[in-house]
Structure 1
Amino acid sequence: MATYGFGSVAYGVKDAGFGTFLLLFYNQVVGLPSATVGLVIMAALLIDAVIDPAVGFFSDRTRSSWGRRHPWMYASALPIMIGWILLWNPPAGASETAVLAWLFVVAVIVRSAVSAYEVPSVALTPELTSDYDERTRIMAYRYLFGWAGGLTMLVSAYTLFLAPTAAFPNGLLNRAGYGHFALAGALLMGLAIIVSAAGTHREIRNLPRPPIIPQTLRENFRELGQTVRNRAFAVLMLASLCAYTNQGIGYALSNYLYSYVWGFKGAVFAYLTVSLFAGVVVAFLVAPRLGKRGGKPRIAMAAVLLGGTIQTLPYWLRLAGVFPEVGSRALLPVLFGCFILSTACNVSAFILGASMMADVVEDSEIRTGRRSEGVFFAGSF
């Protein structure tokens, strides 16, 4: 489980970089308008929304001596590493239009390469086990390592690559630091992908190899439509959309909130990041147990509601004038507690939701006679 889950480090590094630093880097370091940068990032995300299901569909239909998933996983490593380095090293002295074009093209490359790994990789979950509760444990490992990878890069950025210096009292504005951040992230993502793919390679002979019926392009699209019309899949995909939107907004605003709302500087950013990982560890420990005892759907819904409430509570209380003042000793410990609890709830919901998606695969197989793990997990990805 640990070797398989370790591959999620690559997605965690990508998610942390895109969500936390990419807008800030191209806006405040490179000097592009924030609204324009946000629009370009969103355009790349829309392209990714088309690529994900395509990767899932073709992964489901891949046949090779390495199975359906592993060729995609191995092949993604080098493009991810190259694209990640290019993303944080735009051409110096280029026009605004050229840099925006660079951002769009390279962001699409990185997102596509990550999809080429993550979609087939996560689609392995229902193939590795048919046990209802073991799938939750497997997903717990994926989320543990995914968050560990992302938060490791965040802590490294705040304390090493983008730490304050005499030349840059605000280390987040140090352009050279982002180059080192990119190189370290690329190496970590490449390592995670190869270790995970190689670690699960021996399972290839045990994985399902459903037959493929030759079809026309129109028939392929019809089959894809039949697959995604599964009601349980639609519910989970909508829930995933809302959950990941919440997470993305939180990531994108985190540096601004830490700096301009709570008045923190330097190493405190790293402490807050560590508190997030504490919440992930809590989720890793409790989510499988809660799902087994209380039922995945009910526990996931309760976790989402509770997590959202705790996550926004500091801002409501500050507006009401009853939250610790900026600069007070009580502020940091109270925020730590809120971050740990909200992260534990939100990540528990993610784990249970991903586990339920694995269950939907088998429900669809009963209804349609086809195994479409790639398509389903692409929809939730």
Structure 2
Amino acid sequence: MPDPDRAAALTRWVRLGYGAGSVATGAFGTVPGLMLLPYLTDSLGIAAVAAAAIVFLPKAWDVVLNPVAGRISDRTRDPRGPRRPWLLRAGLLLAVCFALVFASPGLGSRTLEAAWVLVFFLAAATAYAFFQVPYVAMPAEITHSYSERTRLMTWRVAILALTILVAGASAPAIRDAVGGRDGYRVMGVVMAGIILVGVLAAYRGTRHAPVGAVEPGPGSLRDQLRLVAGAPDFRALLTCFVLQALATGCMLAGVDYLAGDVLGRSGAATILFVCFVGPALVLTPAWAALGSRIGKRRGYLASSLVLALGAALAATAQVAPTAVVFAAVALVGVGYAGCQVFPLAMLPDAAALDARRTGTSRVGVYTGVWTAGETLGLALGPGVFALVLAAGSYRSGTTGDLVQPDSALTAITLGFSLLPAALVLLSLVWLVRYRLDDLTDTPEHQET
């Protein structure tokens, strides 16, 4: 008997080509969360609450836009397929707008400079929606194999981890090497170049990927959103992932503050990022192998607990040796790798099962809702962290010699550690409700 998994296997080049899109998504998902809030509070001198609004509003717009982008890509008719054209169109615009976010020419007014950042970050977020949603929708159409989707996500997450390492570690290093606002401008251009590389590599690398016929479901977008919202397993998985994205957003926003204000070490932000992502580069295949033995849901649960433990240990940052803090963040990275592999492999399972049951495709709507939720979580993270800073009486300013009160240092530490740990643990309430797991591709399950 032929092995269906072997017959459905993708070539290494298709896996690599698809995974290359994570260079773009990883850079845009990481660098604004890491650098934008410090840019607003410490370079432009904008108060923490106002900065939180600037960081959050464009992402909130994405929450509305993502399902629309999914619907549009579902209905796209193009010889290259419904998804690939959007990778190129939106990806090019994303790279340009990202560079402009940090390129304010010095307008002599905090209000005008805040408006500059808001406008171009809004434009970048719009372009990102039309890149990310079609990109995430592709696996459900590239392959119908449960195991192959896990392998595809392993490649994607490995490249994502490498991108986070390169972008997250180099962005603050570039800023510090150049110095001042010019440092942010140069950093923005370099990161835009990284995004562009990912866009072009994904577009070209998926040109030979198989693409199934896409038959969009009938009814309005509202009708399809209602049907997607009525899928209990998808709803549970999405809620879990959004809460964890919120936790990740808090930690990303806190890295620069923890490094500079709590640890007080030059270059500590770069070291923290290496500790965070380094383990993920090594252990992503290990998490995938574990998932193949115990199932994706159990693997996701295990990796979530590791992430929460590492975040909780980081609460010792004000009193423990710096090496202990770095080790705690490395443990976060171990868990984070699994928390990316498993949900991204479980999403296509839910969308593909819906397509088999109904005979129509709502993959774009599923992924639009998914990326809207992820965007909301990652946007709320810096916003929530900024509110924690405000509650701790953090002092914003354009000079680097401000002394923060003890309350601000405590707020930074808790916002980076115990708050994310609590959010991850809360997310597990919904994860245990997810029931598809590795039953999705069995004949018995398909008939139910």
TM-score norm. by structure 2 comes to 0.75
1:100 to 111, 114, 129: 114
1:181 to 187, 190, 207: 187
Give the Cα–Cα distance (whole angstroms) in 1 for the partners of residues 367 and 218 of structure 2.
23
Give the Cα–Cα distance (whole angstroms) in 2 for the partners of residues 228 and 94 of structure 1.
47
**Aligned residue number for residue 55 of structure 1:** 69
Contact 1:126–1:361 under 8 Å retained in 2: yes
1:371 to 361, 374, 378: 361
Verify: 1:79 aligned to 2:69, yes or no: no
Contact 1:227–1:368 under 8 Å retained in 2: no
Contact 1:23–1:252 under 8 Å retained in 2: yes
Residues 11/230 of structure 1: CA separation in 2 closer, same or farther (3 Å cut): same
**Aligned residue number for residue 242 of structure 1:** 243
Matching of residues 219-238 of structure 1 within 5 Å: 219-238=220-239
CA RMSD of superposed structures (Å): 1.9
Q: Aligned letter for 1:311?
A: A
Q: Displacement of 1:212 after TM fit?
A: 4.6
Give the Cα–Cα distance (whole angstroms) in 2 for the partners of residues 377 and 139 of structure 1.
15
Question: Secondary structure in 2 aligned to 1:371?
Answer: coil
Matching of residues 162-311 of structure 1 within 5 Å: 162-163=176-177, 171=179, 174-203=180-209, 206-212=210-216, 219-266=220-267, 268-311=268-311
Question: Secondary structure in 1 aligned to 2:208?
Answer: helix
Moved more, 185-194 or 206-215: 206-215
Residues 25/220 of structure 1: CA separation in 2 closer, same or farther (3 Å cut): closer
Give the Cα–Cα distance (whole angstroms) in 2 for the partners of residues 299 and 212 of structure 1.
32
Verify: 1:130 aligned to 2:144, yes or no: yes
TM-score norm. by structure 1 comes to 0.88
Q: Which runs of 5+ in 1 are unaligned?
A: 166-170, 325-330
Q: Displacement of 1:346 after TM fit?
A: 2.1
Moved more, 247-256 or 41-50: 41-50
Give the Cα–Cα distance (whole angstroms) in 1 for the partners of residues 149 and 216 of structure 2.
26
Q: Displacement of 1:50 after TM fit?
A: 0.6
Contact 1:14–1:150 under 8 Å retained in 2: no
Question: Secondary structure in 2 aligned to 1:202?
Answer: coil
**Aligned residue number for residue 104 of structure 2:** 90
Contact 1:125–1:358 under 8 Å retained in 2: yes
**Aligned residue number for residue 3 of structure 1:** 17
Q: Aligned letter for 1:39?
A: A
Q: Displacement of 1:318 after TM fit?
A: 5.8
Q: Aligned letter for 1:80?
A: L
Give the Cα–Cα distance (whole angstroms) in 2 for the partners of residues 95 and 272 of structure 1.
34
Q: Aligned letter for 1:288?
A: A
Give the Cα–Cα distance (whole angstroms) in 1 for the partners of residues 62 and 342 of structure 2.
24
Give the Cα–Cα distance (whole angstroms) in 2 for the partners of residues 23 and 38 of structure 1.
7
Residues 158/91 of structure 1: CA separation in 2 closer, same or farther (3 Å cut): closer
Question: Secondary structure in 2 aligned to 1:65?
Answer: coil
Give the Cα–Cα distance (whole angstroms) in 1 for the partners of residues 314 and 120 of structure 2.
37
Verify: 1:346 aligned to 2:336, yes or no: yes
Q: Which runs of 5+ in 2 are unaligned?
A: 1-14, 372-448
Write the deviation string for residues 191-235 of structure 1: whole angstroms up to 9, x where unpaired.
2111111111122xx3112335775xxx34212321332111111
Give the Cα–Cα distance (whole angstroms) in 2 for the partners of residues 43 and 249 of structure 1.
16
Q: Aligned letter for 1:181?
A: M
Verify: 1:12 aligned to 2:26, yes or no: yes
Write the deviation string for residues 57-112 of structure 1: whole angstroms up to 9, x where unpaired.
11112111111101111101221121011100124124333222222221111111
| Count of aligned pairs | 357
Identity fraction in percent: 25
Write the deviation string for residues 163-215 of structure 1: whole angstroms up to 9, x where unpaired.
3x7xxxxx4xx110111111111111112111111111122xx3112335775
